Amino acid sequence: MNDKDNLNRELTHLLNSQRLAALATHHSGQPYASLVSFAATPDLRQLLFATTRSTRKYANLSSDPRAAMLLDNRSNEETDIHSAIAVTATGTVWELSNYERTKALSLYLAKHPYLEEFVNAPSCALFKLTIRTYYLVTRFQNVVEIHMPL
C-alpha cells in the first residue's frame, strides 16, 4: 500500500467513485462540518464543490479559506473498520469565476448532472479546494501523507 502507483490508483478511484464529502471550516475557532457534493480534477490537485452564498460554510470560508475535506468509501457495516478507505484533504478554498468557472463547471456537472439548476442559480458559488496534503487511511491504522507540489 505504500508503493506509489498503488497509492495513486487507490486515491484516484476513491475520489472518482465517491459523490459526497464532509467539508470542515471554522468560525472564530469553532469547527463546523457540512456535507457537500464534490468532483476531483484529473490531476487530483483540486476538489470542486458548490454552495449558496447564504450558508454558514460560505461565511466561514469568506473569513478563513483554509479547509479540510473528508471522504471515504464506508458502507455503514461493521467490516468498514478494516476494509474502508478514508482520505482527509487539507488546503485552501477559492471561489471560481470566468473561464476557470466554466471549465470547472462542466467537470462538476459531468459527475453531478442533477445539480445543474442548483449550480447555475445566481445565488450559488462554485469553489475549488486546492490540496496541500492528502492523508490516506487504510486497514484501520495505516496512514500515508501525500504532499502535492506547491
Q: What part of residues 89-118 is at the interface with other proteins (CB under 8 A)?
A: 90
Any contact of residue 81 with other proteins (CB under 8 A)? yes
- AA letter at 3: D
Any contact of residue 141 with other proteins (CB under 8 A)? yes
Beta strands, E only, 14-82 = 20-27, 30-40, 46-52, 66-72
Question: Which residue, 52 or 83, has its beta carbon nearer to other proteins?
Answer: 83
Distance separating alpha carbons of residues 9 and 106, to the nearest angstrom: 23
Distance separating alpha carbons of residues 71 and 11, to the nearest angstrom: 11
Give the residue from 137, 123, 106, 133 showing the smallest Cα distance to 39: 106
Residue 40's CB: how many other CB atoms inside 10 A?
23
Any contact of residue 35 with other proteins (CB under 8 A)? no
Question: Which residue, 24 or 104, has its beta carbon nearer to other proteins?
Answer: 24
Any contact of residue 133 with other proteins (CB under 8 A)? yes
In this structure, the strands spanning 66-72 and 30-40 are unpaired
We find the least distance from the C-beta atom of residue 69 to other proteins, in angstroms, to be: 14
Question: Which residue, 19 or 139, has its beta carbon nearer to other proteins?
Answer: 139
- Span from 51-59, 94-102, 106-114, 127-135 in contact with other proteins (CB under 8 A): 127-135
> 449550480: which residue's cell?
119
Q: Pick from 28, 30, 79, 98 the residue near other proteins by CB under 8 A.
A: 79
Q: What part of residues 45-64 is at the interface with other proteins (CB under 8 A)?
A: none
Give the residue from 32, 143, 146 showing the smallest Cα distance to 89: 146
Residues near other proteins (CB under 8 A): 1-4, 7, 78-79, 81-83, 90, 132-133, 135, 139-149
